[in-house]
Amino acid sequence: MLRRKIYDKLLAWKKSTGKKDAILLRGVRQCGKTYIVREFGKREYKNFIEINFIERPDMQAVFSGNLDVDNMVQQIKLSIPGCQFIPGETLLFLDEIQDAPNARTSLKFWTQDGRFDCIASGSLLGIDYKNEVSIPVGYEQQLIMRTLDFEEFIWALGVEVNLKEMLAPYVDGAKRVPEAMHNSLNKYLQEYMVVGGLPEVVDTYIATKDFYQVHLLQEKILRDYQDDIAKYALNQDKIKAKQCFLSIPRQLSKENHKFQYSVVEKKATARKFTSSLDWLHNAGLIDFAYNVNSPWFPLKAYVKEDQFRVYLCDIGLLVAMYGYQLKIALFSDALEGPAKGGIYESLVADILAKRGEELYYYKKEDSTLEIEFILERDCKLVPVEVKARKGSTRSLNELLKMDNIERGYKLTAQNTGVVEKKITLPLYMAAII
């Protein structure tokens, strides 16, 4: 079993007392939702009942009429011979719930009844419930699940470490990470860039150690995502969402990584494509990083909503979109040119987003001053500059002159170092800053 951090959240939910809302587990396609809930249900409950609405479309009828719990229980028993509903010992799992909108409405009634725990899950949830009667506001707890993060990836390779504890002594830059540890973590980071965090892809890599097999599977998953766009996006967004999705590698290969509609289509406008980008974001396929034009806390007060960057939900998939040869170049550290900066920036975005960080970057108007990421820590700002290759840190140096900024990070492939307020850290330490 791949060890996933969300398992601990599900366990805390199970052990909670008082009113227990149903869980709505959201996440991009193939991030491991079904697998983790299935493992959780079988390990933590005496009775586990799973309904997959894609495999069993006939089960939608159970939730199309009377949503009284006793009525639903009886119908489920008739449809799934041998299943048992024992109060306090049963988990009902409603999978692929996007194909049964009324089933989501039923979460209110399972919660109100309280005898049986209920988890619903599905890809592209909340995007288009054309026929849904009502959303169970106040009766469901939403959890977001993403692909494996860097630490989970290392666990999958058989390395049981706590990155935060292991790297904490070095985060101020004053002490160098021991070379053996540094080299190992850099190697794992290279693998993570190429493989990414999709569970099936990670399993394939572990089983074969073959990047080509990994690439073939990633290409298939990318096609599946495009099929999902065609299936679930609103009619007016189907083609435009796909165009935006496929433009991401080109957006990140520009010197300026800001998303530009003209890259999607010549003379394109925000009016034409904004809703399609929002759809991709709501579906979990992309992350936004918004520009802030003033480096002050709180960042939300200075956001320029019409200026943003777009990152793919998984670094491995982004690398796959560039083609197999890029994997070879990255793993051999032979990549040069503007695309390299965009890929390493995406790597840091991947790590930060999977930690639950909201992504912001700083670009001063009428200036070349620019910082890839800017974080909020203890009501202070922490700028983060990403360096895929050696170069100046002029922008970071300028921001560190401000009194409201106590420290800033330069993330590189190199070991640690510190000069006054500027702390140099290896890229893998994005996982703990």
**What's the structural domain count of the chain?**
2
Do 163 and 66 fall into the same domain?
A: no
**Alpha-carbon dihedral angle through residues 71, 76, 79, 82, given to the nearest 10 degrees:** -120
Q: Are residues 238 and 368 in the same domain?
A: yes
Same domain, 226 and 81: no
129 shares a domain with 175: no
Final residue of a domain: which of 145, 162, 190? 145
CB-based contact 173:416 (threshold 8 Å): yes
What does the DSSP 8-state code read for residue 29?
Answer: T
Residue 57 lies in a domain: yes
Closest CA relative to residue 98, chosen from 17, 34, 189: 34
The last residue of one of the domains, among 124, 145, 166, is 145
Q: Phi/psi of residue 11, each to 5°? A: -65, -40
Do 116 and 182 sit in the same domain of this protein? no
User: What pLDDT, in 10s, does the model give residues 163-188?
Assistant: 999 999 999 999 999 999 999 999 99
User: Is 310 within a domain?
Assistant: yes
Q: What is the pLDDT of residues 220-243, one digit of tens each?
A: 999 999 998 988 888 888 999 999
Pair (95, 163) in one structural domain: no
What's the sign of the alpha-carbon dihedral 52, 58, 63, 68? negative
Q: What percent of the chain has pLDDT over 90?
A: 82
Q: Are 313 and 286 in contact (CB under 8 A)?
A: yes
**The domain boundary residue, chosen from 110, 145, 180:** 145
Helix pair 324-331, 179-195: axis angle to 10 deg: 180
Print the domain residue range for 82: 6-145
Q: What pLDDT shows up at residue 124? A: 65
State pTM to two decimals: 0.94
